[in-house]
Amino acid sequence: MSEYVVNPLYWILSLQALLLVGLIAVILRQSRLLRHLEEERQWNASGFDRVQELQRSQEKAVSGELAAAAADHSKALELLQRRLLVQVARLYQSLERRFGEMQKHIADDSGNLRVNLAERLDGLHQILEKSLGESRVAQQEGMLRGMEGIGRQLLAGLESNAKEVGARLENLAESTDNRLREISGQVEKRLNEGFDRTNETFTRVLEHLTRIDEAQRRITELSNNVVSLQEVLSDKRSRGAFGEVQLNSLVRNIMPESSFSLQHTLSNGNRADCVLFLPEPTGNIVVDAKFPLENYRRMTDVDAGEVERERAAGRFRSDIRRHIAAIAERYIIASETADGAMMFIPAESVFAEIHAHHPELVEEAWQRRVWLASPTTMMAILTTARAALKDAATREQIDLIQQHLNFLARDFGRFQERMERLSQHIRQANRDVEEAQLSARKISARFDRIERVELEGLPLPGEER
């Protein structure tokens, strides 16, 4: 087979070498001719035409030789190709023949080997069946029965544990859900109650603001339609009624109904025009509206003489001093009223006169804890009192909210404790499940070892133990 491969290559290389040598010879010959022509051209410039003709003739000759050499080369290549095809076909037939022979030998050898192996395996199987059938059948049956019993017991234990854990988890989940629903319902109920109270308070505030606006509108109308103070206060009974009506209008328009009482009778038997029920530490404040205005009218009467007006001014001071003493004596009661009372002056001009020209009266009233108030200052005092009442109600609501928040915090603490206990039970159940899975894996591994009986230690036929 090596001869068939080497000879074609040798011929190809030889032919190529010959062609290469021929081409080199032709090129050398042409180069010599060209040099010769160049020398002749240099030597004889007049023979240039003859040199060109000679060069063309030489080129034609060289071209003819090259064409002949190329034709010879192509013929040689075709011949070599046919020879190579013949050699390759012969080589392929030889390889197919040898491959068939080798395949036949391999099939024969494999059949013989299969027969020998089958015979040896049958013998070994018979020996193993005989030895195992006599010595290990009873042992294997006993082990299998024992392992089956153990497996059934373990499976029963695992099932019972799983059922118990599942029941515990269901009970814990149910109790937790019930408690959460209960807490959620309580929280929602308390929040709704708080919202309702807030809405009610806001509604009451709006109502009070509406009343204040209405009172201001009425006061404006009264100020536009009021007649002269002297005409209105010409009669003593009218003077008292005027102060009470004005005070009642202010109190009703600003204060809530439950925070005051008109014509209230005290424990000493005296009847107050108005009592304001304010939160501690202020307490109940008595307001008197029977201000003595008769001498003030005479003091300001332009038709009266100077002496008469001076006498009226003195009597006016005396009336106010006596009225201050009467209020302090009648309307300041320990443990029942506040430590002071209010004297309502129904005219801003009178209030300004007292503060401007009679500061000793203001000082005396302050010492006896009698507070002077005009309609404007009374409105400010009542507005402040209403704010104090609102603040007290808010504090009560805050205390109630704080109490509910304390209850909620306590319930949440209990919930947290129960959640911790639940998490502990869940972790314990998880550990029990992991241990049960570990036991199941060990049992499965032992069953696998029993099923895979190790036979490596058994001797083959003909071998010594």
The pLDDT tens digits of the residues spanning 192-245 come to: 776 677 778 768 777 877 887 787 777 777 665 554 555 555 555 555 577 788
* Strand ordering across the sheet containing 260-265: 260-265, 271-277, 284-288, 341-344, 370-373
373, 400, 416 - which closes a domain: 373
Residue 269 included in any domain: yes
Q: Are 343 and 361 in contact (CB under 8 A)?
A: no
Question: What is the span of the domain harbouring residue 262?
Answer: 227-373
Residue 435 included in any domain: no
- Model confidence pLDDT, tens digit, residues 436-451: 778 778 877 777 777 6
Question: How many folded domains does the chain comprise?
Answer: 2
pLDDT of residue 150: 60
45, 67, 92 - which closes a domain: 92
Residue 79 included in any domain: yes
Residues of the chain with pLDDT under 50: 1-6, 47-48, 51, 62, 227, 454-458, 460, 463-465
Residue 378 included in any domain: no
Residue 391 included in any domain: no
pLDDT of residue 464: 47
- Model confidence pLDDT, tens digit, residues 174-185: 766 676 677 667
Q: Which residues, listed in sequence order, are joined to residue 286 by a DSSP beta bridge? A: 275
35, 68, 92 - which closes a domain: 92
What is the distance between the alpha carbons of residues 287 and 266, in angstroms, rounded to a whole number? 12
Residue 444 included in any domain: no
pLDDT of residue 287: 92
Residue 104 included in any domain: no
Q: Are 264 and 251 in contact (CB under 8 A)?
A: no
Where do the H-state alpha helices sit in 226-293? 229-232, 236-254
Residue 107 included in any domain: no
